[in-house]
Amino acid sequence: MRTLLVTLLLLLAVSCSSQPSRNQLTVAVISGAEGEALKQAARDYEAKTGTHIEIAQFPYANLFEKELIDLKSHTGAYDLIMLDDPWFPRFANENVLTELTPLMQKRGQSGPDPDFVEASLNVCRHPFQTGALYALPYVGNSQLFFYRKDLFEKYSLKPPATWDDVLAAVKTIHEKETAGANGAKVYGYVMRAAQGNAAVADFMPIFWAFGGEMFDASGKPAVNSPEGIAALQFMLELGKYSPPGYASFNADEVAAHLLQGTAAMSINWPVWISPFSDPSRSKVVGRMGFTTLPGAKKPGQAEIGNWLIAIPRYSKNAEAAMDFLLWATAPEQMKVSTRRGNPPTRRSLFTDAELVAKNPAYPAQLRSLESSRPRPRTPYWNEIENAFGIFLSKANSGELSAAEAMNQANAEIEKILQRAK
């Protein structure tokens, strides 16, 4: 009898240990400001509810692979994951995410709060814009155009509405702000043109404004269209007024030139706004302006770069994960996140008087986000972006002409799609 009782207790212990616990969640987050805000939210939630949240933190270069391998192997190691929005089509295509609307309906909600910016919700749906909801937007990044407003005022220039305006201002400032034999004291422009994501991110707003499209109506690569080649030629023209070595620049080099006052204009992300107000880092405190992306043949559109939160399909704690997700993305908690450095994805927070007073670029950020455009919604974007960025960088370094770079990029993108078949 005693042996039987011990056996039953052991079986019960094993059974209980295999059951999901509503008192513990594991969240995969990105290293850096975006992930730090979610980590702090997790600590706040733990104190409020008693639910322990384990944080698995990875640098950007590793997060995608770590998450995808786990989700495809069905281990259920993560209950929630942070996703960069261009990764979303791959995860959705692999069918490894939990549809959120049924979980919302169980909680009396018909769908996501309409306060979310529509462009941010669109990148959480599969198919894009019209399909089922598989994530909620947490960090409302979209590109802005940074410019030295003091120099624009000095030379009676208006904030640029078109890329032609940008080039004219670049030439004026580059010529006027020259320090004799030492070269340009203030370069007219600075950009990221390092291979991969860096070059592509700075190129896409120019590409779209000139009328370029990654794919034609039938889905075939079309980057080497006349519009695409013209866009790259324009990027190379801007490069003539950028600091030496810009073809290898990434975000840190661009930010350094802007913060030190050695470059006047750039495309950049909201995370770099606050350092301009820090005298210990910036030589241009109070002198930087922010506006939406310029247009050309078509209206200007920023590249959206939202961070999303999703629940893996094989999470062992989907219900508890949904409770945390709704809490973390609610207006009150997202406002706390904005104070920790993350731009919101809710319209009400972009117009909140307290937040606007501390973040005067918010009106421009909201306009940028509302009119923003995602990178092509293809599950092969990571590979395409890497290949495309190599040829863009080679053009900027002088190895290839604009036409050669776009023709070779088009051929490589076609190979990637053929291999995928």
At 149 the pLDDT is 97
pLDDT tens for 172-213 read 999 999 764 455 589 999 999 999 999 999 999 999 999 999
Give the integer Cα–Cα distance in Å for 67 and 257. Answer: 35
The top-level CATH class assigned to 144-303+376-420 is alpha beta
Q: Residue range 80-102: average pLDDT?
A: 97
Contacts 24+ apart (CB under 8 A), 42-46: 42/324, 42/328, 44/333, 44/336, 45/324, 45/327, 45/328
Q: Is the pLDDT of residue 13 over 90?
A: no
Kindly tell me if the per-residue pLDDT of 18 is higher than 80: no
Q: Residue type at 214? A: M
pLDDT in tens, 145-159: 999 999 999 999 999
pLDDT at 179: 60
Per the CB < 8 A criterion, the answer to whether 232 and 402 are in contact is: yes
pLDDT at 394 over 80: yes
Average pLDDT across the chain, whole number: 93
pTM, two decimals, is: 0.91
pLDDT computed for residue 181 by the predictor: 43
Architecture of domain 22-141+305-370: 3-Layer(aba) Sandwich (3.40)
Residue 295 contacts residue 145 (beta carbons within 8 Å): no
Mean pLDDT over 81-110 rounds to 97
Answer yes or no: are the C-beta atoms of 371 and 295 closer than 8 Å.
no
Q: Side-chain half-sphere of 87: how many Cα atoms within 13 Å?
A: 22
Query: What would the mean pLDDT of 309-328 be, rounded to a whole number?
Result: 97
Query: Model confidence over 236-251: pLDDT tens digits?
Result: 999 999 999 999 999 9
Question: What single string gives the DSSP state of each residue in 146-171?
Answer: EEEHHHHHHTTPPPPSBHHHHHHHHH
Instruction: Pick the closest to residue 375 from 307, 267, 302 (CA basis).
Output: 302
CATH fold match for the domains 22-141+305-370 and 144-303+376-420: yes
Q: Which residues of 151-188 are buried (b: 16+ CB within 10 A; e: fewer)?
A: bbeeeebebbeebebbbebbebbbeebeeeeeebebbb
H helical segments located in 297-342: 318-328, 331-339
Q: Confidence band (pLDDT; 50, 70, 90) for 61?
A: confident
Domain definitions of the chain by residue range? 22-141+305-370, 144-303+376-420
Q: What is the DSSP string of 259-271?
A: HHTSB-EEEE-GG
